[in-house]
A and B are shown apart, each in its own frame.
Chain A
């Protein structure tokens, strides 16, 4: 076998092309050749050619009905695309790899592939990254492997916060809480709820934060937990307009145990006016009277 990757690729191509003399493609040898060529290209740092070779190798494996190897080759191709900086390619290749993994029936590597994709593109294509993270989480949840989804949710929240889409970030945190609830990981669940409250307060949406707190208080354990108490103190400090209390709470150890991104938000609290809440409650009472009459 010649070690020149170009020759290998040419040979393999010939093996797969159907001509008069060749009635069925010899995928096995072709795949072997493609793999060797791809490795050689990678060593030679010819990433573009290596990527192509890996893609063809993966197709060959698919033809040989071994989706696992096909998926592995796809992942290698995608990693090379990352080196090249073709972000769209990266996303596509990783998606293809994850689909192949799902064909094997292995959800964990599938979601891992999507996670790697999202991490690679989150700086350049954040919306695509959001989509990838969401898909990865749903894959895991379908397979009842919620525990693994925590990290993905946290990364998703970080992306949302970077995009300054705070409602989305809070929604992601609440989904984290739900996943944690399914696995009885109460500590993570409560931390997720407290983080959601902090995110709402950072977005200066005190009403939403209150609503969130009330929703989460349906779970009795949350009320009595450290995080629940911290949340209630934050909300009451906001409604009283007590800035020192808010700052003190943000420095407290309960907030310090949350994620980095949330800690950064917490340190910047309070944002905007905190004394506007009283006016809001008065309006509420006026509406009630109207409703009665």
Chain B
């Protein structure tokens, strides 16, 4: 068995029986009771892992994997930066069995964390100030680029300018059309109001005409009825008289003739 084998086996056995390692447990327990220490240890471990990845990225040959690794690094950095405020809060809390110097030390540690996190190289730090001016409106927004996309970004900004101009001309034309429509509607509204008032004016006149015509119609009806009565009366009596008179005349003539013939 070689030394390496022995070492490996020892390591494996140690890992297996970790829980029986009293000292180690004591340390873990101490940190277990203390949320700050736990959190701090976690952040520390992540920073170390990030640094390792950064080294790997800088050694990478293919650009795509570099970009991917850098992106991951940035995500991790953002996450860690989020954790920092939590740790800050925990650092200020007083835990029993903790001395004041330790408390101050914790604060300092926490404050140093953000700097350490930012210091993790992610490959885009150097290029940032130069490439974003013309295309990005927000300097805090970071895009996944090492600057080699700059040319393409310029092209896109020309296109977007054209697009914007077209949009503006169309908007102006629409505004003009809408103004004309609004003027026409204004005129319509005015005319409608005037018509409304005119009709309001004519309503009482129409009512007056209505009543006057009603009165005239009833007068006419009355007159007609009376006329009818009068005429029938007149005619019948006249007919009657004429009948009698004619009869008398005929009888007279007949009597006269009879007399003449008899003689």
Contact = CB atoms under 8 A, between A and B. Distances in A.
Interface in B167-197: 183, 186-187, 190, 193-194, 196-197
A254 interface: yes
A224 B183 CA distance: 19
A187 B187 CA distance: 13
Nearest to B189: A226
Contacts of B193: 187
Contact of A257 (B190, B196, B197, B201): B190
Contacts of B196: 187
Interface string A239-258: 00000000000000110010
Interface string A151-191: 00000000000000000000000000000000111011000
B201 A253 contact: no
B187 A253 contact: yes
Contact of B186 (A184, A187, A254): A254
Of the four ranges (under 10, 10 to 19, 20 to 34, 35 or more), the interface on chain A belongs to 10 to 19
A163 B193 CA distance: 31
Nearest to A145: B204
A226 B189 CA distance: 11
Interface in B189-216: 190, 193-194, 196-197, 200-201, 204
A182 to B, nearest CB: 12
Nearest to B190: A257
B155 to A, nearest CB: 43
A147 B200 contact: yes
Contact of A185 (B183, B186, B187, B197): B197
Contacts of A226: 186
B199 to A, nearest CB: 11
Q: Which of A145, A187, A188 has the most CB of B within 10 A?
A: A187
A33 B196 CA distance: 48
Contacts of B183: 253
A272 to B, nearest CB: 29
A148 B193 CA distance: 17
Nearest to B192: A187
A184 B196 CA distance: 11
Nearest to B187: A253
Given A253-B183, A253-B186, A254-B186, A187 B194 contact: yes
A183 B187 contact: no
Contacts of A148: 201
Nearest to A146: B201
A147 B194 CA distance: 12
B204 to A, nearest CB: 8
Contacts of A253: 183, 186-187, 190
A116 to B, nearest CB: 19
B200 A183 contact: yes
Contacts of A184: 200
Contacts of A183: 200-201
Nearest to A147: B201
Contacts of A187: 190, 193-194, 196-197
Contacts of B204: 145
Nearest to B186: A253
Nearest to B208: A108
Contacts of B186: 226, 253-254, 257
A24 B149 CA distance: 123
B187 A257 contact: yes
A185 B190 contact: no
A98 to B, nearest CB: 20
A211 to B, nearest CB: 27
Contacts of B197: 147, 185, 187-188
A68 to B, nearest CB: 14
A148 B197 CA distance: 11
Nearest to B194: A187
A184 B190 CA distance: 16
A-B residue pairs, 7 tightest by C-beta = A187-B193, A147-B201, A253-B186, A257-B190, A185-B197, A253-B183, A188-B197
19 contacts: A147-B197, A147-B201, A148-B201, A183-B200, A184-B200, A185-B197, A185-B200, A187-B190, A187-B193, A187-B194, A187-B196, A187-B197, A188-B197, A226-B186, A253-B186, A253-B190, A254-B186, A257-B186, A257-B187
Interface of A: 145, 147-148, 183-185, 187-188, 226, 253-254, 257
Given A183-B201, A257-B187, A257-B190, 4 more contacts: A147-B197, A184-B200, A187-B193, A253-B187
